[in-house]
Amino acid sequence: MSNKLECYQNGIRFENPFLVGSGPPSTNAKVIARSFDAGWAGSVIKTVSLDHTKVRNIAPRYGHHKVDGKCIGFTNNELITDRPLQVWLDEIKELKKQYPDKVLIASIMEEPIKENWQQLTDLVCKAGADMIELNLSCPHGMPERKMGQAMGQCPEIVGNVTGWVKEASTVPIWSKMTPNITHITEPARAALNAGADGITAINTILSVSGINMKNFQPVPNVKGVSAFGGYSYTAVKPIALRMIGELAMEFPKVEISGVGGIVDGQSAAEFLCMGSGTLQVCTGIMLDGFKMIERLNSELIDIMDIHGMKSVHELKGKSLEYFGTMAEMANRLEASKQKTKAHTDSFEGDNIVDVSKELTL
Ligand SMILES: Cc1cc2nc3c(=O)[nH]c(=O)nc-3n(C[C@H](O)[C@H](O)[C@H](O)COP(=O)(O)O)c2cc1C
């Protein structure tokens, strides 16, 4: 594979920008090894906590949002790992022995208690993790224990937790943001002020997959009860791109790991153009398999070749300069003397479809 795709973040080398995002494709050492063999540059392990016995996963826990029979969005009600921490620590050690050049990122989550976060940080560092990702963002991350998104929505807690982990960590740390917030830059700022080396965005978006009209029950449900789930895959890409753009514009020097709907070379390149340095894929792998890395790599190289780019770093932030305000857009249109087609007088009701088409690029 060409080294055009090699990239660096926080001094760490990635053979290509593609990492397995925390979730089912990083559920244990066996699947992580399979992803490394397939060509993924690194993996963010399924989120671990100190006491796995408190994690009670349910099934069924996934839902498909289909349009014309095709899955465009995916919902899940999956908690963090329910495997014992010691098993994970042994697996991290073994994986690093077998795959010294792959980047292994420990995703960690705890209740907002300093000793817990620092103990977990110390353990994953000693096991040999290359980096740590702080899960401050799972939507169903046991809010009754004030974990996951319940923390990520509160910048003060994000700052505290990030500071505790930074103090205890011997490796770079990324804080993973929830999109279920008005301004993603606020918790991100708190994380960066507390010493985060980078930001991962986004986790899943709170959602309802659908309703079964036979019994009015939401799907998926367990014995008639459901909860708002996390939405991912292609449909969330526009929201993820916007949020990454907001982060990159607000914090131009900060390393971003982009995630949310990456499925092909085009979407990967879009995340880079909006300011991401590395890219994570979770649902895409669940629906397409680990082999998709070959397509991701070759399609990304094709896009770079069209532009004569020698390094994937050249795509980073490439599109940010093209964003402005609505007023700037109106000014440019007026200056070009091009007549805007937005004549609301021409709406007659029965031509709304045609008028809408005319206003679409
Ligand atoms: C079934 C499932 C389980 C997930 N579990 C975790 C997790 O344990 N920790 C975490 O930080 N993110 C978790 N995520 C979120 C993903 O890492 C990712 O942020 C999100 O799904 C958006 O990316 P995607 O569209 O590529 O899936 C999970 C996602 C899915 C679909």
Close Cβ partners of 293 (under 8 Å, ≥ 6 residues apart): 16, 18, 35, 38, 39, 40
Cα–Cα distance, 52 to 281 (Å, whole number): 25
Cα–Cα distance, 145 to 304 (Å, whole number): 46
Close Cβ partners of 259 (under 8 Å, ≥ 6 residues apart): 21, 200, 201, 202, 203, 240, 279, 280, 281, 282
Residue 165 alpha carbon to ligand 1 centre in Å: 21
CATH architecture of 3-318: Alpha-Beta Barrel (3.20)
Q: What is the average pLDDT value for the chain, to the nearest integer?
A: 94
Cα–Cα distance, 301 to 17 (Å, whole number): 12
Close Cβ partners of 264 (under 8 Å, ≥ 6 residues apart): 295, 296, 299
Cα–Cα distance, 202 to 134 (Å, whole number): 12
Provide the sign of the torsion angle of the four alpha carbons 344, 346, 350, 353, taken in this order. Answer: negative
Close Cβ partners of 300 (under 8 Å, ≥ 6 residues apart): 5, 17, 265, 268, 269, 312
Domain boundaries, the chain: 3-318, 328-358
Close Cβ partners of 218 (under 8 Å, ≥ 6 residues apart): 208, 209, 210, 211, 212, 226
Give pLDDT tens digits for 312-348.
Answer: 999 999 999 999 999 999 899 889 887 666 566 767 7
Residues with CB under 6 A from ligand 1: 21-24, 46-47, 74, 76, 78, 80, 107, 135, 138, 176, 203-204, 232-233, 236, 259-262, 281-284
Cα–Cα distance, 206 to 334 (Å, whole number): 40
Residue 307: band (very low, low, confident or very high) from pLDDT cuts 50, 70, 90: very high
Give pLDDT tens digits for 226-275.
Answer: 989 999 999 999 999 999 999 999 999 999 999 999 999 999 999 999 99
Q: Please compute the mean of the pLDDT values over residues 122-133 and round it to a whole number.
A: 98
Residue 297: band (very low, low, confident or very high) from pLDDT cuts 50, 70, 90: very high
Q: Which of 17, 13, 31, 9 is nearest to 267 (CA)?
A: 17
For a pocket test of ligand 1, which of 149, 232, 239 has the largest count of ligand atoms closer than 8 A to its C-beta? 232
User: Are the C-beta atoms of 179 and 240 separated by less than 8 Å?
Assistant: yes
Q: Which of 346, 198, 350, 345 is nearest to 259 (CA)?
A: 198
Residue 188: band (very low, low, confident or very high) from pLDDT cuts 50, 70, 90: very high
Question: Measured between alpha carbons, how far apart are the two ends of the chain, in Å?
Answer: 36
Q: What percent of the chain has pLDDT over 90?
A: 83
Residue 142: band (very low, low, confident or very high) from pLDDT cuts 50, 70, 90: low
Residue 1 has pLDDT above 60, yes or no: no
Residue 2 has pLDDT above 70, yes or no: no
User: Are the C-beta atoms of 105 and 135 separated by less than 8 Å?
Assistant: no
